[in-house]
Each structure stands twice: as structure tokens, then as C-alpha cells.
């Protein structure tokens, strides 16, 4: 039996922000002109726009660029950072040159905020080339009430450079590889809870992943998904892994959920390295302490058994289940995840079946007797799917299995430190 162990921490995220141009609204409107606003309030370090009721959009135009204040050049900036509090029914943000978007993807906004949030809009549209003479911060779409408002703390053009990171088989483990984009993590939402990047609660960097509760009702299940394609090879390229492989993930968790503590699930989809459909999903469970405002590192692990398929790649889906007794959650509650690490101790099939040579096991499936051809003096062990030994024998060529329940079993044949193992079906 050969064990393959992997615990590699690749380069820590390299992030550089250069050539920043900032509008910070310190007792000033910073030359922004609103369209669709019924009132503008200058605060000491922010600006509040009260939006006219019944509108489906609202925007502010910046004239400083046209007046020669600075050059908005596509060679200098690739992101716009907006720090704001959205107290309106408008649900997305874009940056425009007049009516033309300067990026390909709108940024989704949360609504009815009670705190400032940071959003990053990526500039990469065909319209953003060379130097342009103005820009617009555009908010849509929805129907506003007369009391709706948007409070803005900062609009900043930046140039961001990042190096993709990974830890073992977990990519982007600290959610810092891109601004405003959690790739390869996929966020999701339902009527009770949504997941999103939070740039105000990073444990070691800027960002963390937040489970934000939207309702006072009992929540539905919620997962975030990473590497949800064909998975990541956890060890040697092309290797296939089987029974006894140990998958372990640690992550840091912070929560505002009070007592009692609850369990969180780390789901590992096992795949063949070709199909996007998992061969099987296996779960590690970790106990999350009651919320105290501090970060806690939680360990999730799973050891594959005889009932699990052989696999080549692994994914990772952290999740919170409604079955965990989380009734009583409300809109003041949240859970944050950050700084994942992973290890993998893999049992490689390419080695284990050839370690002890001259072994054959038949018939398979079997009903009464299992024949074992093996070197003289070999020890035989049969395990159930829970990993418990249910039969042992030594120096024999057959083992009675008539008293075993129908199902899947693992047979292990050993001699002089060498091992052969395979799965059998008892009918």
C-alpha cells in the first residue's frame, strides 16, 4: 500500500494597487452631478443622494475628467472601487461613459443596507480604450420609493494585479485572487440566505465569504461551490484513489449566531476527472462555536470507505443545512468563512493492487464462499463499509461469507508488509 501525502501552500496572494484616483466626498460633492435625485446631503466624509420616487434608475456624472483634472486612461486603471450603503430598491451598479458600459458585467448590490459595503467593478469593455473624457456611476434596476437613498463613501479608480493562489486542492483559499469576483467559488442565494464576498470582514486580507440571512424564517440549505467543474487533482497527476484516502480541510469561521452552537458541513464531490457530475458526494462535519465575534479554525475531514467510488479529482462545497437546528435565525445573523487550508493522504490504486503480487479473489459477487489465491501464509481481512473488520483468516484459500449481510465489502490480503486490496459484493 502506498500513501501519497500532499499539503502544499503555494504563493500567498500578491496584490498591488497602483495609480489610484480617489473621490472621497470629504465635505464635497467632488464635482458629481446627480440625475434622479430629489435631495443631496453632504456629510463629513460621505454624500447621501435621496432618490426621486418611482424611478427605475439613478446615476451621478463626473465632470473632473473632462475639465482636465486627470486622465482616465485604460492603460492605468482596470477596476473601480465603490464603498456605499444602498438604502434603495436599485439592485445593480455599472460604470459608464455616457450610456455605454465600461465593463462587461454589472455588480449586484444588496438592498436595505445597515452598513457600508465595498463593490468592485471591472473595466474591460471595448468602449474603455485609450483616454475617455468622463464617467458615470449608474444604479439600476428597480422602482424607487420617495424615501430611498444611496450614501457613498468613496469612488476609486485603481489598477489591480493579483497572482492566483491555492492551498492543496483548494483554489483562491482567502478570496483575494480577484476584486469583486470569488472565482472559482460560486456564490448563490434563495429567499432566506445569500452568499457574497465581504470586504469589511476579511480575517487576514480584505475579503471573506459571508452567509447573510435575509429572513426571520427557518433558512433553507445553502452552499458555496468551488471547482464545480471536473474538480482538482489532489495529488499526483493522473492518479486514481480509493479506500482509506483521507481528505481534510480547515477554515476559519466567524459568526453572529448565538447559542446553541451548530454544525457546518464541508461536502467533497468525488469525480472521475472527466465528467462534471460527481461520482458521489461525501461530507465532513465541523462544530461551529456559538457566535462571539471572533474567528475560530474548524477542521472537516473524511476517510473514504469501501462504499465510496474510486476517484481522481475532488471539489469542495461548504454548506449550512436547515436540518442543523438553525431555527430562530434572523436578518441580524451572519456566518463568515476565510483562509482555507487542505491536506490529502491518498491511497493510490495504481500501486495498491500490484504491491502484493499473485493475488486473485473470486467469485465476485459471491454468496457463500470467497476464494483467495495468494502467497502462502498471507493474512486475509474483510471490512464492512464502516471500516470495521468482520472476518479474518490466515493461510487459507477460502473464507466463508455466508453469515455476512448483503452489501459491499473491502478485502485486504497482506504478507511481509505488502498488501493487496479490492472490493467485493456479497449477495
Q: What residue ranges define each of the domains in the chain, with the CATH number in brackets? A: 15-162 (2.60.120.260), 165-349 (2.60.120.260), 356-426 (2.60.40.1220)
Which grid cell is 396? 487459507
Most confident range (mean pLDDT) of 58-67, 99-108, 127-136, 319-328 is: 99-108
User: What is the pLDDT averaged over residues 93-115?
Assistant: 89
> Looking at residue 316, what is its pLDDT?
92
Tell which wins on pLDDT, 94 or 243. 94
- Whether the upstream peptide bond of residue 358 has omega within 30° of 0, thus cis, is no
Distance, CA of 314 to CA of 234 (rounded, Å):
7
In the predicted model, what is the mean pLDDT of residues 211-224? 74
| Cβ within 8 Å of residue 285, ≥6 positions away | 263, 264, 265, 266, 300
- Res. 218: pLDDT tops 80: no
pLDDT band (50, 70, 90) for residue 220: low
* Segment 77-106 mean pLDDT: 92
Out of 157-161, 209-213, 221-225, 295-299, least confident range: 221-225
Q: Rounded distance, CA 36 to CA 50, Å?
A: 9
CA distances for 106 relative to 253, 367, 390, angstroms: 29, 61, 59
Across 221-236, average pLDDT:
80
Is residue 359 pLDDT above 60, yes or no?
A: yes
Q: Do 293 and 203 meet the contact criterion of CB atoms below 8 Å apart?
A: no
Q: How confident is the model at residue 337 (pLDDT cuts 50, 70, 90)?
A: very high
> What pLDDT, on a 0 to 100 scale, did the predictor assign at position 8?
29
Distances (CA, A) of 266 to 281, 298, 316: 10, 10, 7
Average pLDDT over the chain reads 84
Please check the confidence at residue 410 and state whether its pLDDT lies above 70.
yes
Percent of the chain at pLDDT exceeding 70: 87
Whether pTM > 0.85 for this model: the answer is no
Arithmetic mean of pLDDT, 6-25: 52
Q: Tell me which DSSP letter residue 114 carries.
A: S
What is the reported pLDDT for 152?
A: 97
Supply the pLDDT for residue 65.
61
pLDDT classification of 280: cutoffs 50, 70, 90: very high
Is the pLDDT at 363 greater than 70, yes or no? yes
| Mean pLDDT calculated for residue range 379-400 | 86
The pLDDT of 137-154, averaged and rounded, is 94
Name the band, by pLDDT with cuts 50, 70 and 90, for residue 69: low
pLDDT reading at 360 higher than 70 = yes
Nearest to 160 by CA among 18, 13, 11: 18
* pLDDT-wise least confident of 39-48, 59-68, 86-95: 59-68
pLDDT band at residue 138 using 50, 70 and 90 as cut-offs = very high
State the average pLDDT over residues 206-213.
89
Is the pLDDT at 414 greater than 90, yes or no?
A: no
| Mean pLDDT for the stretch of residues 302-316 | 91
Residue 203 pLDDT level (bands cut at 50, 70, 90): very high
The whole-number pLDDT of residue 18 equals: 47
State the pLDDT at residue 1.
34
Which grid coordinates are listed for 51? 432618490
Position 343 scores a pLDDT of 94
Amino acid at each position: 500500500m502506498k500513501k501519497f501525502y500532499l499539503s502544499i501552500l503555494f504563493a500567498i496572494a500578491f496584490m498591488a494597487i497602483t495609480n489610484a484616483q480617489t473621490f472621497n466626498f470629504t465635505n464635497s460633492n467632488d464635482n458629481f452631478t446627480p440625475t434622479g435625485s430629489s435631495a443631496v446631503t453632504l456629510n463629513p466624509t460621505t454624500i447621501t443622494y435621496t432618490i426621486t420616487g418611482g424611478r427605475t434608475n439613478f446615476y451621478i456624472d463626473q465632470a473632473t475628467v473632462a475639465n482636465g483634472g486627470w486622465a482616465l486612461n485604460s492603460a492605468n486603471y482596470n477596476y473601480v472601487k465603490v464603498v456605499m450603503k444602498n438604502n434603495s430598491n436599485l439592485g445593480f451598479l455599472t460604470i459608464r461613459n455616457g450610456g455605454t458600459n465600461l465593463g462587461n458585467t454589472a455588480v449586484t448590490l444588496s438592498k436595505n443596507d445597515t452598513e457600508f459595503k465595498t463593490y468592485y467593478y471591472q473595466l474591460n469593455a471595448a468602449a474603455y480604450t485609450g483616454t475617455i473624457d468622463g464617467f458615470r456611476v449608474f444604479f439600476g434596476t428597480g422602482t424607487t420609493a420617495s424615501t430611498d437613498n444611496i450614501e457613498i463613501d468613496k469612488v476609486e479608480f485603481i489598477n489591480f494585479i493579483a497572482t492566483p493562489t491555492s492551498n492543496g486542492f483548494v483554489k483562491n483559499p482567502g478570496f483575494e485572487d480577484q476584486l469583486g469576483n470569488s472565482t472559482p467559488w460560486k456564490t448563490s442565494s434563495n429567499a432566506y440566505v445569500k452568499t457574497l464576498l465581504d470586504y469589511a470582514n476579511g480575517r487576514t486580507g480584505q475579503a471573506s465569504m459571508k452567509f447573510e440571512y435575509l429572513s426571520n424564517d427557518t433558512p433553507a440549505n445553502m452552499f458555496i461551490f468551488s471547482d464545480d467543474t471536473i474538480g482538482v487533482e489532489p495529488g499526483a497527476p493522473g492518479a486514481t484513489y480509493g479506500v482509506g484516502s483521507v481528505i481534510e480541510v480547515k477554515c476559519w469561521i466567524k459568526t453572529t449566531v448565538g447559542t446553541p452552537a451548530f454544525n457546518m458541513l464541508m461536502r467533497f464531490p468525488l469525480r472521475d476527472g472527466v465528467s462534471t457530475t460527481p461520482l458521489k458526494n461525501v461530507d465532513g462535519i465541523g462544530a461551529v462555536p456559538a457566535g462571539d465575534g471572533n474567528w475560530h479554525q474548524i477542521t472537516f475531514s473524511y476517510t473514504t470507505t469501501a462504499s465510496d467510488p474510486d476517484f481522481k479529482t475532488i471539489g469542495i462545497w461548504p454548506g449550512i443545512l436547515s436540518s442543523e437546528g438553525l431555527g430562530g435565525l434572523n436578518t441580524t445573523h451572519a456566518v463568515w468563512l476565510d483562509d482555507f487550508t487542505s491536506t490529502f493522504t491518498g491511497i493510490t490504486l495504481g500501486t495498491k493492487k500490484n504491491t502484493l503480487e499473485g493475488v486473485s479473489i473470486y467469485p465476485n459477487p459471491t454468496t457463500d464462499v470467497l476464494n483467495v489465491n495468494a502467497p502462502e501464509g498471507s493474512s486475509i481481512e474483510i471490512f464492512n463499509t464502516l471500516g470495521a473488520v468482520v472476518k479474518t483468516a490466515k493461510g487459507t484459500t477460502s473464507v466463508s461469507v455466508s453469515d455476512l449481510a448483503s452489501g459491499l465489502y473491502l478485502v485486504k490480503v497482506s504478507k511481509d508488509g505488502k498488501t493487496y486490496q479490492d472490493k467485493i459484493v456479497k449477495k
